A and B are shown apart, each in its own frame.
Chain A
């Protein structure tokens, strides 16, 4: 079965974004990191743990009516470094690109250090420097290496 056939398991979208090659089981975390919880009215399709030559198993997310910004794509790289982004207009792929890891992510992750000032009611967003093998709080220096999705800030 080709990748195209797999994508047809969920309906094609007219306009929006297809996020492909998400590591198997990470699709819901991708939705969380994009702040997509179904309340906005966007039509969202999710396929999980589909066979993939590159990844073994992969997830695919299709978001109707929304083109992801570069900032959103950058942040995705933290949990889906192999993801590809397909921008769809009138059923055609008009743009296809890989995600790239940003040097810093702001307001995306919650610092796991409960004594970090960013966890207080202060007018400041969390800010993490992105390294090769983890992220590091720019305020308290706490390093997160594992289970990044567990630290995604709720919208």
Chain B
């Protein structure tokens, strides 16, 4: 695998995905063997909006490869507060580091930033756009639990603004998964993602009711329906309750259904699901470290 920048899941071929996941599996099996892999490497962390899991797992991944991180800190304490452009910020920080990780609230920010730097840049989420490394760890979790052959997956929640959904939907076209999207009509997939899935010849169906499709699913990927997306709170309350699952809901599912969530969850997955064999969302979050170790290692030349 050789990409200068990881901007979108759309740039990843099936081969690229398998390469990263296989390497992640090797790392997960023997993390100590990779501990000195990048002892002189510094990773620049540019997080323009809050992040817990993504930021911590990138930090952990770099440190477990023997390297270190340089963190811009919060926007409030940085020169961004003084009006510095993103283009200038990344050009400055690339001089300090060997690779960059960018989280930014604007769509297209990672692509634009990548045009101003020569060091590898990883998109760690650009607004409602893409989140390709989340997708890689999602795929790792799916492969571990359900495999990629004859996969039927339901993706439920905020499909319109959810960047993890957009990235995952694109990537799933490479494994010919049957994709079912479950959401309120107001939060269905954006036009661009529908267009891409159609162009890729993906098997896609849309639903407003999980019950229509739950018994057929191998994987149910749940995302949070965000109250702030609705013009009025009563409309949010009306739909949000229809997209919550609990252990009783899953009685209608296959015994080996895998339930995933990019986290953080609020109330869309009841805590009684945690105790079932379906729940894989915490393992999914943990998988972020070996997957990001694998990606960084490959990007930084670990495959040579």
Interface residues of A (CB under 8 A from B): 113, 115-118, 120-124, 136-143
Check B195–A122 contact: CB distance below 8 A. Answer: no
Check A116–B107 contact: CB distance below 8 A. Answer: yes
Check B85–A142 contact: CB distance below 8 A. Answer: no
Across-interface contacts of A118 in B (CB, < 8 A):
108, 112
Across-interface contacts of A122 in B (CB, < 8 A):
85-87, 112
Set A115, A136, A142, A143: member contacting B106, Cβ < 8 A: A115
Interface of chain B residues 252 through 291 with chain A (CB within 8 A): none
Given A115-B128, A118-B112, are A139 and B107 also a contact pair (CB < 8 Å)? yes
Set A115, A123, A138, A143: member contacting B87, Cβ < 8 A: A123
Chain B nearest Cβ from A79, distance in angstroms = 21
Chain B nearest Cβ from A120, distance in angstroms = 6
User: CB-CB contacts of B84-113 with A at 8 A, as 1s and 0s?
Assistant: 011100000000000000001111110110
Find the A residue at minimum CB distance from B10: A141
Set A115, A117, A123, A142: member contacting B192, Cβ < 8 A: A142
Across-interface contacts of A121 in B (CB, < 8 A):
85
Q: 29 A-B residue contacts at CB 8 Å?
A: A115-B106, A115-B127, A116-B106, A117-B86, A117-B106, A117-B108, A118-B108, A118-B112, A120-B85, A122-B85, A122-B86, A122-B112, A124-B87, A124-B115, A136-B192, A138-B108, A139-B107, A139-B111, A140-B108, A140-B127, A140-B129, A141-B107, A141-B108, A141-B129, A141-B190, A141-B193, A142-B107, A142-B192, A143-B192
Find the B residue at minimum CB distance from A118: B108
Across-interface contacts of A140 in B (CB, < 8 A):
107-108, 127, 129
Find the B residue at minimum CB distance from A140: B107
Across-interface contacts of A141 in B (CB, < 8 A):
107-108, 129, 190, 192-193
Number of A-B pairs, beta carbon distance below 8 Å: 56
Q: Is the interface of A mostly helix, strand, loop or mixed?
A: loop
Across-interface contacts of B105 in A (CB, < 8 A):
115
* Residue among A117, A121, A137, A139 with the highest chain B CB neighbour number at 10 A: A117
Chain B, interface size category, equals 20 to 34
Chain B nearest Cβ from A147, distance in angstroms = 15
Q: Is B191 an interface residue (CB 8 A)?
A: yes
Set A117, A136, A143: member contacting B107, Cβ < 8 A: A117
Across-interface contacts of B111 in A (CB, < 8 A):
117, 138-139
Find the B residue at minimum CB distance from A142: B192
Given A142-B192, A143-B192, are A137 and B85 also a contact pair (CB < 8 Å)? no
Chain B nearest Cβ from A142, distance in angstroms = 6
Chain A nearest Cβ from B114, distance in angstroms = 11
Chain B nearest Cβ from A133, distance in angstroms = 10
Chain A nearest Cβ from B113, distance in angstroms = 8
A124 to B115, CA, bound (A): 9
Check B115–A115 contact: CB distance below 8 A. Answer: no
Chain B nearest Cβ from A138, distance in angstroms = 7
A118 to B112, CA, bound (A): 8
Across-interface contacts of A117 in B (CB, < 8 A):
86, 104, 106-109, 111-112, 126
A140 to B192, CA, bound (A): 9
Check A143–B191 contact: CB distance below 8 A. Answer: yes
User: CB-CB contacts of B165-190 with A at 8 A, as 1s and 0s?
Assistant: 00000000000000000000000001
A141 to B196, CA, bound (A): 10
5 closest A-B pairs (Cβ-Cβ)? A139-B108, A140-B107, A141-B192, A140-B108, A117-B108
